[in-house]
Structure 1
Amino acid sequence: MNDVLQKLPGFVSKHPELVALFVLILVVLVATEIARLFRKWKSLTPAGLTQLINRDTPLIIDLSASADFEKAHIPGAKNVAMSQFDPETQKDLSKAKELPVVLVDKDGRGVGKAANRLLKAGFTKVFVLEGGTYGWQTAQLPVVKGKK
């Protein structure tokens, strides 16, 4: 260990680009984790969503494109195009402010903004499915094909 600490200044002076890249990656990781801790919506694994479905009646909103929704979606999910997602004007959503609302998309990457919009509109129980429909299928959970 002492040998490593003695060689560290030499490494830093010979490889400033690598050190700068390491520091940048470290800062991004820390910032991402801090942001995750302070966000008000919760992430759910496929198993967590299964538990939520079994103990509650969540409203599952799939924000995938229509073609992706028709290929495979979680049973009971309602498809709403991301471009038409407005929690303040949609009738289905305005009735569900006290229900748990789970947002899903194809791969779980594009629903954070929608979750924040729900929170801003007064929803109290907002969840996002990690991995989206793809994660659900990977966990070998049932999917439905078609429009409904």
Structure 2
Amino acid sequence: MDCAKSHLLRRGRFSQPSGIYLLTTVTNNRQRTFTDLWSARAVISELRQTEREDACQSLAWVLMPDHLHWLIQLKESTLCTVMRRFKSRSSHALYKQGLPRQRVWQPGYQDCALRKEDDILRVARYVICNPLRAGLVSRIGDYPHWDAVWV
């Protein structure tokens, strides 16, 4: 994504307490940063830390080699705070593992608010089936970096 246009992602963004959102964030230059187990687990640990801080509840997520899809319900935070903390802490965790100190995530993120009439389970299925669509696995159970509250 062109950094000069990342501000356009914020247009119309509103953080509704208890709102349900699908968030997508991409690694810098689409680098395949999360191909090894330890890098992926470091990022997942920081995703779970966001829940422990009561900022949000993760409903479903999948960490792909170069991006994250994350279906959340906000609690005591805003979208901006959730993503800023997650990106910062996950980058720091990767640096501790030896990743060169360079930008891990592209600026900004995509968000889509789900209304009550939206089918949350349909969106969750979309999220966790990402590795299948990408051809990384033939069964979702074979992909190690995903979770959903319904499983």
Structure with bigger helix share is: 1
TM-score normalized by structure 2? 0.28
Structure with greater contact order relative to length (CA < 8 Å, sep ≥ 6): 2
| Larger Rg over CA atoms | 1
TM-score normalized by structure 1? 0.28
